[in-house]
């Protein structure tokens, strides 16, 4: 049997502790599957004294993760520190330049520096594995990088943030406000004390940018993603969606168009009958549309110590199974130097139309003015419904559903209605997406 694979782990938080625990508890099974033992021989974390509920055995302790990354005692450096810059970037770069394989769960790091790091890994002939960076325990990276060889991907989309999906699920199921659901998510540990990164779409955007590169062979461009969060979703939107046969989800969507690549993160109405509409709670799901397989949907735990640790260990196991002299595949499906420059698509017709909610003054001529603004912008309406509220007789809610139209046209029409002085509150615009 080959010598044990020596692994160094930087970061012993929830995920790091789970990785150590799983490597110990599953040692015999992993040895049988990989043909060699996987040994955590070194670790690094900020606090040596903290009780993490794990036995580190004889593992060497490094106060400096960069020193661990460069150590000749390890063959694989596992980065679980987090953050797009700083010590996480320094240690990963140091490991790759020293000829060490790297496993990371850090989507922020990859979305900003992934192409440059991939170039180093490919030059040094080592692996940079990152399954845990997107959708937790779901093997979406391996599927896109390896299993879909020969397929042409036209669109990838999905639910990639468990916090947002949990909040939207609770809002619909229990009639709670966004604020109440967020507080509960924080109490349960599903949301951070400062939840901005999750609820405003940044986390999903980082993950989507990585999938976009894999899907379309382009450089990562997280800064070119149109982004909206869920903080402005209300019970009025949830109820209206249900009445129309839809459910609201925060989706990340990337697709190739004639004018470039479209990347967007935003609340979306999906048909209740679709598979992705049935993904509830903290679960994630990613759909991949291809020319040969059609639509493939992967769903499962998107976060949590064990789910993320499972993906990390899968990446380590892949390295353990490789043999000296084996030519590793490129990090993002094609060599980093061959990744095409990212070209952002122009605003285009959005298949499926738009949901528009307007709270208006209850007075003569409002309906006619709204219809005129829509007609002036060549927007065809599938339906228009008015809801009254006995407690607010001076106000009415108007729900519009458009046929396929242009994003710019919708925004221009809503801007015109706002300028006309008919609205009492900020308008709500939500895309309607065809979904798996």
What is the pairing mode between strands 354-361 and 428-432?
A: antiparallel
Handedness of CA 144, 200, 309, 44 (dihedral sign): positive
pLDDT at 436: 64
Q: What is the pLDDT tens value at each position of the chain, 436 positions in all? A: 578 999 999 999 889 999 999 999 999 999 999 999 999 999 999 888 787 888 887 889 999 999 999 999 999 999 999 999 999 999 999 999 999 999 999 999 999 999 999 999 999 999 999 999 998 889 999 999 988 888 999 999 999 999 999 999 999 999 999 999 999 888 888 888 889 999 999 999 999 999 999 999 999 998 889 999 999 999 999 999 999 899 999 999 999 888 889 999 999 999 999 999 999 998 999 999 999 988 899 999 877 788 899 999 999 999 999 876 666 789 999 999 999 999 888 766 555 789 999 988 888 888 888 989 999 999 998 888 887 655 556 778 889 999 988 888 898 999 999 998 888 888 999 999 877 6
Would you call 5 helix, strand, or coil by DSSP?
strand
Does residue 142 have an active-site annotation?
Answer: no
- Are 256 and 108 in contact by the 8 Å Cβ rule? The answer is no
**Which tokens hold the place of 66?**
């960069």
Measured CA distances, 58 to 40, 53, 137, 214 (Å): 9, 16, 29, 39
- List, in order, residues 6 or more apart from 68 with CB less than 8 Å away: 8, 10, 42, 43, 44, 62, 74, 77, 91
- List, in order, residues 6 or more apart from 172 with CB less than 8 Å away: 238, 242, 247, 248
Cα torsion for 273, 279, 281, 286, to the nearest 10°? -140
pLDDT at 317: 95
**Which among 131, 138, 96, 101 has a CA at the least distance from the CA of 113?**
96
Domains of the chain by start residue, with CATH: 5-137+305-337 (3.40.50.720), 145-301 (3.30.360.10), 349-432 (3.30.70.260)
Bin 420: left if φ > 0, else alpha if -120 < ψ < 50, else beta. Answer: alpha
Would you call 42 helix, strand, or coil by DSSP?
strand
Query: Judging by beta carbons within 10 Å of its beta carbon (0-12, 13-18, 19+), is residue 80 exposed, middle or buried?
Result: buried
pLDDT at 392: 54
pLDDT at 72: 93
pLDDT at 367: 85
pTM score: 0.91
What Rg do the C-alpha atoms of the chain give, in angstroms?
24
Catalytic residue among 207, 249, 256, 396: 207
Measured CA distances, 412 to 333, 364, 381, 430 (Å): 40, 23, 15, 15
CA angle 47, 48, 54 (to 5 degrees): 110
pLDDT at 365: 82
Would you call 332 helix, strand, or coil by DSSP?
coil
Would you call 106 helix, strand, or coil by DSSP?
coil
pLDDT at 434: 75
User: How many C-alpha atoms does 131 have within 13 Å on its Cβ side?
Assistant: 22
- Are 435 and 159 in contact by the 8 Å Cβ rule? The answer is no
CA distance 231 to 201: 10
Spell 158-196 as b/e; 16+ CB within 10 A means b.
bbbbbbbbbbbbbbbeeebebeebbebbeeeebbeeebe
- Are 158 and 193 in contact by the 8 Å Cβ rule? The answer is no
């Amino acid at each position: 049997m080959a010598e044990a694979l020596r692994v160094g782990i930087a970061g012993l938080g929830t995920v790091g502790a789970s990785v150590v625990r799983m490597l110990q508890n599953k040692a015999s099974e992993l040895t049988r599957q990989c043909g060699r033992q996987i040994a955590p021989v070194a670790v690094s974390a900020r606090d040596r004294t903290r009780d993490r509920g794990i036995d580190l055995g004889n593992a060497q302790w490094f106060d400096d993760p960069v020193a661990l990354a460069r150590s000749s005692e390890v063959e694989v450096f596992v980065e679980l520190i987090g953050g797009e810059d700083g010590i996480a970037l320094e240690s990963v770069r140091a490991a790759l330049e020293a000829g060490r394989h790297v496993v990371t769960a850090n989507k922020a790091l990859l979305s900003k520096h992934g192409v440059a790091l991939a170039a180093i890994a490919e030059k040094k002939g080592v692996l940079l594995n990152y399954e845990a960076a997107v959708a937790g325990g779901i093997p979406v990276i391996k599927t896109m990088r390896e299993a879909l060889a020969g397929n042409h991907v036209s669109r990838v989309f999905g639910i990639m943030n468990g916090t947002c999906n949990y909040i939207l699920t609770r809002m619909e199921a229990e009639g709670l406000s966004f604020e109440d659901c967020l507080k509960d998510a924080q109490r349960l540990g599903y949301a951070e004390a400062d939840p901005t990164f999750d609820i405003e779409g940044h986390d999903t955007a980082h993950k989507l940018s990585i999938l976009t590169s894999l899907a379309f062979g382009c450089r990562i461009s997280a800064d070119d993603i149109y982004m909206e969060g869920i903080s402005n979703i209300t019970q009025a939107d949830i109820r209206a969606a249900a009445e129309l046969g839809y459910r609201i989800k925060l989706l990340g969507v990337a697709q190739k168009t004639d004018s470039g690549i479209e990347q967007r993160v935003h609340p979306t109405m999906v048909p209740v009958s679709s598979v992705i509409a049935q993904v509830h709670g903290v679960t994630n799901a990613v759909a991949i549309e291809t020319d040969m397989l059609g639509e493939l949907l992967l769903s499962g735990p998107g976060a949590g110590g064990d789910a993320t640790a499972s993906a990390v260990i899968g990446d380590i196991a892949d390295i353990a199974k490789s043999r000296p002299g084996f030519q590793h595949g490129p990090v993002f499906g094609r060599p980093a130097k061959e990744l095409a420059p990212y070209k952002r698509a122009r605003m285009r017709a959005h298949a499926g139309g738009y949901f528009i909610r307007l709270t208006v003054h209850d007075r003569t001529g409002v309906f006619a003015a709204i219809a005129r603004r829509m007609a002036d912008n060549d927007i065809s309406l599938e339906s228009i419904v008015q809801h009254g509220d006995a407690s607010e007789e001076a106000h009415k809610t108007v729900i519009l559903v458009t046929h396929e139209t242009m994003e710019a046209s919708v925004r221009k029409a809503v801007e015109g209605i706002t300028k006309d002085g008919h609205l009492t509150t900020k308008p709500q615009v939500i895309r309607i997406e065809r979904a798996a």
